[in-house]
Every structure is written in C-alpha cells, then in structure tokens.
C-alpha cells in the first residue's frame, strides 16, 4: 500500500513538473510571437540611454515627457513631449512593451526579448560626432552593445532558437546621421568640425563607408530585417531658422543640401546591401520628404506651426535654448510640428511612424514595416 502511494505521488510530481515545463514553453512562444525592435540612432529615438551617461545632452528634465502616459507625464529621457517614432512603430506592430534603453539597470533577463534601444542623444555614425556633449554612444558603440544583447539572447533561448528569432522576428531600426552634420561637419571651424579637413564629398564618403561597416556587423550578428532612415531637412528646424534669422517659410540651404547629398548615397547603399548580403532585407525610410511634407503643408495635418518650437526660448521661433524647466511652453502641444528647437512633437512622430508602418513607396521602399515584419 505504501509503495502504491509513493508511486502515485511520484507520478503526480512528474506530471506537475511536466506541466510547468509545458506552461513555460507556451509562455515563451507567446512572448516571442510579437517580435522585437532593436533601435539604433540618435536623440530622435533615444528612450533614455543618456540618462545613464555623464553628458551635456540629456532630456530627463521637465517638461520633456509631459505627455508620455507610461511615465505619468514625467521626463523619461526622450527628447519630445511623448513617444518617439520608435515607440509608436513598436505599438503599431503589436509589440506589448517599449524597447528599454540598453543602459537602464532593468534591461536584463527576458525583457531583452522584446527588443532593446541603443540610441543616444548626440550620437552619430562617426565616433567624433557629438564630442561637444562630452559623452554619447556612437553607432560603433551601439553595435558593440547589441553584441552583448545577442549573447544574452543565446543564453535565454539557446543558440538555434536565438538565431531564428533574430533572423525572422526582429526588426533593426537605424535613425542616425543628423548629428554628423549638425554636431560635427557644420560646427564652426574653431570647434574643430570636420569641415576643417574634408570636402563635403569626402565627408559623405566617410559616413557611407562607416555605416556600411556598421550595418554589415549587425548582419554578421544575424540581423536580417533592417529599416534605415535618411537624414531629415535639418536646415528647417527651429534652431537653424532662429540663429540664421530666417522667415517662417525659409530653411537654411547648406544643411539641407548636405542632407540630400548624403541621402542620395544612402539610397545607393541600401540597394547595394540588399544585393550583396544574402537573406537580408533593407528598407529605406524617406524621412526627409516625409518631414518636409509636414513642414510645407502643416495646416493640412492639423498643425498651427511648423517653424516655432513648442518648448524652448530665444528668438522668433524659440529655437536657441533647449526645452527645460524655465522654457516657455505652448498649451496646444499637438498642434506643433516641433517640440523643441531640434525634435518633432509626439503628434508629428505619430504621423511619421504610421507612414513608415503602413505607407507607400513615396516614403518607405521597397516595402513598409508591416510587410517587413510579416516576411
């Protein structure tokens, strides 16, 4: 009788543990079904990495984040009043969690399976870019950090399943390049900007060469689905309009000319990588034309201004001093294309993100991000 009881208890214990294992597998499958976003770039998509750096480029001060519901309206380190383009794209693709900043202490364990954000305010393709901020994560360092995450995913899922997850269920988003002009090449000569040693053509060649190497490194770490954004109309931001004393409808010619020069080469690079890296799909996001459309036809989209920063100080367009506690702030935040002297508002980010997810080839080629996800 005692043996029979022990045998029955043993069976129950085995069944219990098998059920736990089965439950764990089903939880994992559900957890992985929505895919992941791995986000690289600059302050346009930084979700708070710079909070953990000794740097002059930070956004973890009010009123930044005032409309970010997940934080209760407090600053998060995002350089806008609410969500970034990366946040909104993840939501639109059905991902249940925002990609957490790599440097945040809670970005550990299974949360990395939902994706990780490596972007950094002031960061650029070139390592020298943004040095005026003292610290920032360049694209090279961001790829180094993904290598760390890649090894963590191997441990969480096992090498075979990890590789499949990275290959098929993960989108790698790259939004970088603006700082390479604004906070490198276009800096005054006294600040040792790259203009002191390079022609525009040589500098753009350097950018494309470095970015090719960085994207190829991600490919070798099993990334296969990429979206690469070009540089927006940086001559039209409130900061440029203010310091150059332009009218509401004018933009500074040189920054836009450099952006367009780089963008043409970037488009060629995307085509080259699609042809030369087997199994990879590189999608080109035409951010320049998309943002220019918002600036030119802002009233069509419900905005009242595409020239003045909602939060800032200085000059006609509040475009000199970054957003902070002493800044003036508009009350109709969803009616301004620009949140601060440099960055779009959440309302503008929402329009941009939705075009990238479901838009047509005017702004996203050869396919939109929903189609890329479903490949």
Q: Would you tell me how many other CB atoms lie within 10 Å of the CB of residue 254?
A: 15
Question: Is 342:213 a contact under the CB 8 Å cutoff?
Answer: no
| Least confident window among 12-16, 42-46, 88-92, 182-186 | 12-16
Query: Looking at the chain, which runs of residues are DSSP E strands?
Result: 36-41, 100-101, 115-117, 170-175, 225-229, 281-285, 311-312, 328-329, 364-365
Is residue 160 flagged as an active site residue? no
* Fold adopted by 35-374: Rossmann fold (3.40.50)
Q: Which is catalytic among the residues 37, 43, 305, 307? A: 43
| Least confident window among 162-176, 309-323, 359-373 | 309-323
Residue labelled with tokens 């069944």:
15
Structure tokens at 353: 């993100």
**Residue 310, pLDDT above cutoff 60:** yes
Query: Looking at 54-129, which runs of residues are DSSP E strands?
Result: 100-101, 115-117
Is residue 340 flagged as an active site residue? yes
Would you state the pLDDT for residue 193? 61
In sequence order, what are the beta bridge partners of 281? 225
Is residue 97 flagged as an active site residue? no
Degrees, nearest 5: CA angle 29-34-40: 125
Would you state the pLDDT for residue 31? 64
The answer for residues whose C-beta is within 8 angstroms of residue 7's C-beta and 6 or more apart is: none
Domain boundaries, the chain: 35-374
Would you state the pLDDT for residue 191? 54
Rg of the Cα atoms in the chain: 23
Confidence of residue 48 (pLDDT cuts 50, 70, 90): very high
As a whole number, mean pLDDT of residues 132-140 equals 96
Q: What is the model's pTM?
A: 0.91
Confidence of residue 243 (pLDDT cuts 50, 70, 90): very high
Give the CA-trace dihedral at 340, 85, 266, 58, to 10 degrees: 50
Confidence of residue 197 (pLDDT cuts 50, 70, 90): confident
Q: How are the residues of the chain apportioned to helix, strand and coil, as percentages rounded to the nearest 5?
A: 50, 10, 40
**Residue 96, pLDDT above cutoff 80:** yes
Q: Which is catalytic among the residues 42, 46, 67, 340? A: 340
Question: Is 369:227 a contact under the CB 8 Å cutoff?
Answer: yes
Confidence of residue 51 (pLDDT cuts 50, 70, 90): very high
């Amino acid at each position: 009788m005692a043996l029979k009881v022990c045998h029955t208890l043993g069976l129950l214990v085995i069944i219990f543990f098998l059920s736990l294992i089965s439950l764990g597998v089903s939880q994992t499958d559900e957890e992985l079904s929505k895919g992941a976003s791995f986000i690289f770039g600059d302050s346009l998509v930084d979700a708070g990495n710079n909070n953990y750096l000794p740097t002059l480029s930070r956004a973890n001060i009010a009123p930044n984040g005032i409309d970010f519901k997940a934080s209760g309206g407090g600053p998060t380190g995002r350089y806008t009043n609410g969500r970034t383009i990366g946040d909104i794209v993840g939501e639109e693709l059905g991902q249940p969690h925002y990609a957490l900043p790599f440097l945040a202490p809670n970005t550990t364990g299974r949360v990395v399976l939902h994706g990780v954000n490596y972007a950094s305010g002031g960061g650029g393709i070139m390592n020298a870019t943004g040095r005026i901020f003292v610290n920032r994560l360049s694209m090279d360092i961001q790829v180094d950090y993904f290598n760390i995450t890649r090894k963590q995913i191997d441990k969480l899922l096992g090498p075979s399943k990890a590789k499949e997850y990275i290959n098929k269920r993960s989108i790698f988003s790259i939004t970088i390049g603006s700082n390479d002009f604004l906070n490198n090449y276009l800096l005054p000569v006294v600040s040792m900007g790259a203009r002191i040693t390079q022609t525009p053509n040589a500098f753009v060649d350097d950018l494309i060469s470095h970015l090719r190497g960085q994207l190829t490194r991600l490919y070798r770490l099993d990334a296969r689905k990429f979206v690469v954004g070009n540089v927006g109309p940086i001559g039209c931001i409130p900061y440029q309009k203010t310091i150059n004393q332009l009218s509401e409808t004018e933009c500074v010619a040189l920054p836009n000319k450099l952006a367009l020069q780089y963008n043409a080469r970037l488009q060629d690079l995307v085509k080259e990588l699609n042809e030369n890296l087997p199994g990879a799909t590189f999608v080109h996001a035409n951010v320049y034309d998309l943002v220019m459309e918002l600036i030119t036809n802002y009233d069509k989209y419900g905005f009242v201004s595409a020239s003045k920063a909602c939060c800032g100080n200085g000059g006609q367009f509040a475009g000199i001093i970054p957003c902070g506690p002493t800044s003036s702030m508009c009350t109709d935040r969803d009616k301004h294309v620009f949140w601060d002297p440099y960055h779009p508002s959440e309302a503008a980010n929402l329009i941009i993100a939705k075009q990238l997810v479901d838009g047509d080839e005017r702004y996203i080629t050869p396919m939109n991000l929903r189609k890329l996800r479903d490949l």
